[in-house]
Amino acid sequence: MSRRVYVHVGAPKTGTTYLQDRLFLNRVSLAGHGIAYPTGLKGDMFEPALDLIDRPWGGMRDEVHGEWDALVRRVKRSSGTVLVSHEILAGARPQQVQRAMRDLRDFEVHVIYTARDIARQLPAEWQEQVKHNGRNGFRRYLRQVRKAQQNHPNRWFWRVQGLPDVLTRWGCNLPPERVHLITVPQPGAPKETLWLRFCEVVGIDPAWAPEEAERHNPSLGGAETTLLRRLNAVLLDEDFGGDDYRTIVREVIAHRTLAQRTDMTRVTLPPGEYDWVEQVAESWIEWAQGAKVHVVGDLDELRPRRPAADEPWVNPDKPRPRDVADAALDALVAVVLEAGRRPNPDDQLRAKVAKAVRRARGGR
């Protein structure tokens, strides 16, 4: 009987970072029970996933060449059941999925997809786009997503979040019992629920992974996202990208600073969008039922929850100037502290930062 490989393909913003971190923290214990999580030296599978889906990703395409093949070699050297997990795998095109299946043909391949209701996914994916140098406001982003086609997705949102399309691509030629759909519970559920559902699919006794994960991919508030959009616009013409952008803007400013602020105003859908997202959710549920894939959780959790009729909606594109200024001060402090930790800053990077600051202040 062939050994099993579970390929967890996403979706982004469905607790994947938490699941991956917990797997990594408990990898030695899990290996002792016949569950391998062969990440390699980097501690995650982002680079192999990026190599497979072949996207530019801020200039990293050449850097990750060969990483997927290296992961496949680690999988083949591993013992027992093997786990492969990264959320950007959901974006693989049909020929890339075929390559993955061909490379793993000696195994019994299972596909796992974690899905969350679309009303929460749209704000989350918009913020992720902004954290990757995006400049679109929320309203414009929603218009673009609505205009895009779900069944032939050229837009990243549908490529990774369009449940029927993702599972059709990844589940092609697999029996439905080897395609596993895990629903992400609505707010208020016990913290362990998603992890326990994941363990149920893979056959992990939760006692094998006692170390709790703390790393996650938090969302930003409306003011924080606006600040980041404005910063991206300033940096657009300053050749400030690649490693510099990833290190300073995405990591230091967005993840370590803005995402950690308290009392942020959560980004939610405009009330007028709920009729549409409810229709999308119903189509996903009908597809899952018709496809007879293995569902762990409750498909009803994919149905968006409408806010109360008297609950005010805050436009994330028009936050209070004071809130944006407070977020900017926090970001500035973080960048100053980061600069202080670098005893010999790169002259070219220093010049880029200084030029961007002058432009932001209105000078040339």
The residue extents of the domains of the chain are 4-118+154-218+273-302, 222-265+320-360
pTM: 0.91
Question: Going by C-beta distance under 8 Å and a sequence separation of 6 or more, which residues neighbour residue 50?
Answer: 57, 60, 61, 64, 67, 88
* pLDDT for the residue numbered 2: 82
Question: Going by C-beta distance under 8 Å and a sequence separation of 6 or more, which residues neighbour residue 226?
Answer: 316, 317, 319, 324
13 contacts 124 by C-beta, under 8 angstroms: yes
* pLDDT for the residue numbered 244: 84
Any idea of the CA torsion for 88, 89, 94, 97, to the nearest 10 degrees? 160
What is residue 304's DSSP assignment? P
Quick one: CATH architecture of 4-118+154-218+273-302?
3-Layer(aba) Sandwich (3.40)
Mean pLDDT of successive 10-residue stretches along the chain, which has 364 residues: 91 96 97 96 94 90 94 97 98 97 98 98 96 95 91 87 97 97 96 96 97 82 96 82 86 94 95 97 98 98 95 96 96 89 65 62 50
Residue 199 corresponds to which tokens in the numbers above?
Answer: 């363990």
Cα dist. 7→82, 238, 285 in Å? Answer: 9, 39, 22
Question: How many H helices and E strands in the chain?
Answer: 15, 6
* pLDDT for the residue numbered 178: 98
User: In angstroms, rounded to a whole number, what is the distance separating the alpha carbons of residues 231 and 321?
Assistant: 15
